[in-house]
Amino acid sequence: MELMSRQETWNITYTHALGETASWFYTQIRDNAKIHGRRCAKTGRVLVPPRSFSDQTLQPTTEWVEVGPGGRIETFTIVYEQFQNLPDPPYAFGYVLLDGADTALGGYFKGVDLTDPAKAAAKLKIGTRIVTKFAEKRTGDVLDFWYEIA
């Protein structure tokens, strides 16, 4: 017998409130091109991206700490496959431990030729020093900054 199918698309728009902590973080990125973390008073850990509370103590974080712009690559990947509603490949992104932070912050790696996967991966290996770069026109978002090899 003929087996039939129907196509359905979900297209839903959300307007997410970012809350006080992320709003301040993004304002600093937009207005001053600076990245900040939040310090946990009990453990001293500087959490980046900043959170309003520590996952280890459930206590509020108490202090803003400027981090970066230098840092080291903690992990990366280079995407060569196209996925629906995600950027056109290839692109490299991963996590960087910014100077002064205790946890790593995600972002794109730019300025690396991704044509040859093995050569590109060697340039992005763990421990490589990077510097954070900021867009000239900033909106207050993660995509306002990216990492380049120092």
Partner 1 sequence: MTSERVGIIGIGQSAFTARRDDASYPDLVREAVVIAMNDAGLELDDIQAVVYSLSPDAMVGIGNAERSGVDAVGARNKRFLRINTGGATGISSVAAAYYHVASGACDVVLTAGADKVGECGDSQTVLNKIWDPTYERQLPLGTINMLGMSAIRYMDFYGMTEEDMARVTVKNRRQAALNPNAHLRRIVSIDDVLASRYIAWPVKLMDCCPQSSGGGAMVLASERFIRERKLDAVWITGLAHCSESYWLGDRMGKNPEADHADAFALGRSLQRAYKMAGITDPGSQVHVAELYAPFSNTEYHSIDAAGFCKRGESIAMLREGQFELGGRLPVNPSGGTLCTNAIAVTAMIRVAEVALQVWGRAGGHQVKGARVGIASGNGGDHQFFGAMVVEA
Residues that bind partner 1 (CB under 8 A): 3, 5, 8, 10, 14, 16, 18-19, 22, 47-49, 55-56, 74-81, 83-87, 91, 93-95, 97, 101-108, 117, 120-121, 125-126, 141-143
The residue whose two tokens read 């763990």 is 126
Q: How far is the CB of 150 from partner 1 (least distance, A)?
A: 18
Comparing CB distances to partner 1, the nearer of 81 and 113 is 81
| 29 contacts 138 by C-beta, under 8 angstroms | yes
26: left (phi over 0), alpha (psi -120 to 50) or beta: alpha
Comparing CB distances to partner 1, the nearer of 104 and 130 is 104
Comparing CB distances to partner 1, the nearer of 101 and 130 is 101
Distance of alpha carbon 68 from alpha carbon 21, whole angstroms: 18
What is the per-residue burial (b if ≥16 Cβ within 10 Å, else e) of 32-52? ebebbbbbbeeeebbbbbbbe
Q: How far is the CB of 55 from partner 1 (least distance, A)?
A: 4
How many other β-carbons are positioned within 10 Å of the β-carbon of residue 88?
8
Comparing CB distances to partner 1, the nearer of 33 and 140 is 140
